[in-house]
Amino acid sequence: MSVSRLVVQPVIMAGGSGTRLWPLSRAGYPKQFLVLTTGNRSLFQQAVQRVRSLADDATEVAAPLTVGNEEHRFLVLEQLRECGGDPGTVLLEPMGRNTAPALTLAALQAMTTGADPVLVVAAADHVIPDQAAYSRTLHEAVRCAASGSIVVLGIRPTRAETGYGYVLGQAEANGPASVAQFVEKPDAVTAERYLADGRYLWNSGMFVLRASVWLGALEAFRPDIAAATRVRKPKPEPHAKP
């Protein structure tokens, strides 16, 4: 008897402006579309390839769903074409409004066929050299999210960084830690304290959760965003051709 596989919907967040790498990264060509590591793939293309590699006997990976800025439409489409495979769907934001509205657009789009996939939400500008560790972590996250959990991936800090948000983890006897607190970017003294404490992780911006779970949480805690996003939901690009 065949066992049905979990359906994972990759969501690539590609709408960032990349201002931290200016002047290499510019408004019209932000860092996620640059080749900054060895090889000939941009950070965005690497993100697409990483989530595709999650497919195995227990996991079906759908074609990617990319959320980007209207201004970068042709960059996104051309780089998806260069990646090969099914380019999936591209949602274009008329203006950037950070993670919550972008993720809401993706969740609404993912459920248009009546499905409720596990969303693997990945930033388009990460450099992740250890693909094996990334895959192991995400497979565990997908299993947790399939049962209704909201999973955030934390990164153990290597320095007192003031440019990142932090997550305070509460250790559990078995499995992932529970989130005790989200903390915005700290000042230098507070960042040093977080580093010494050992329980604080950098917030990677990667989330794993079912589409319906996200929409339910948003309706409960930010109904204003839920309502505004449903009204302004943009029309997706029909295909990835420049």
Computed over its alpha carbons, how large is the radius of gyration of the chain? 18
Q: What is the pLDDT of residue 242?
A: 40
Query: In the CATH hierarchy, which top-level class contains the domain 6-152+205-232?
Result: alpha beta
Cα gap 9→36, rounded to integer Å: 26
Pairing of strands 166-170, 178-183: antiparallel
pLDDT in tens, 4-54: 788 999 999 987 665 555 555 455 567 888 888 777 899 999 999 999 989
* pTM given for the model: 0.86
105 close to 93: Cβ distance less than 8 angstroms? yes
pLDDT in tens, 40-88: 899 999 999 999 989 998 899 999 999 988 888 888 999 999 998 899 9
DSSP 127-147: ----HHHHHHHHHHHHHHHHT
Environment class of 199 (CB within 10 Å of its CB; exposed 0-12, middle 13-18, buried 19+):
middle
pLDDT in tens, 184-230: 999 999 999 999 999 999 999 899 999 999 999 999 999 999 988 87
Q: Is the pLDDT of residue 146 over 90?
A: yes
Instruction: Label residues 164-178 b or e (16+ Cβ within 10 Å = b).
Output: bebbbbeeeeeebee
Cα gap 202→164, rounded to integer Å: 6
Cα gap 12→211, rounded to integer Å: 14
Is the Cα dihedral 89, 94, 98, 100 positive or negative?
negative
Q: Where are the domains of the chain?
A: 6-152+205-232
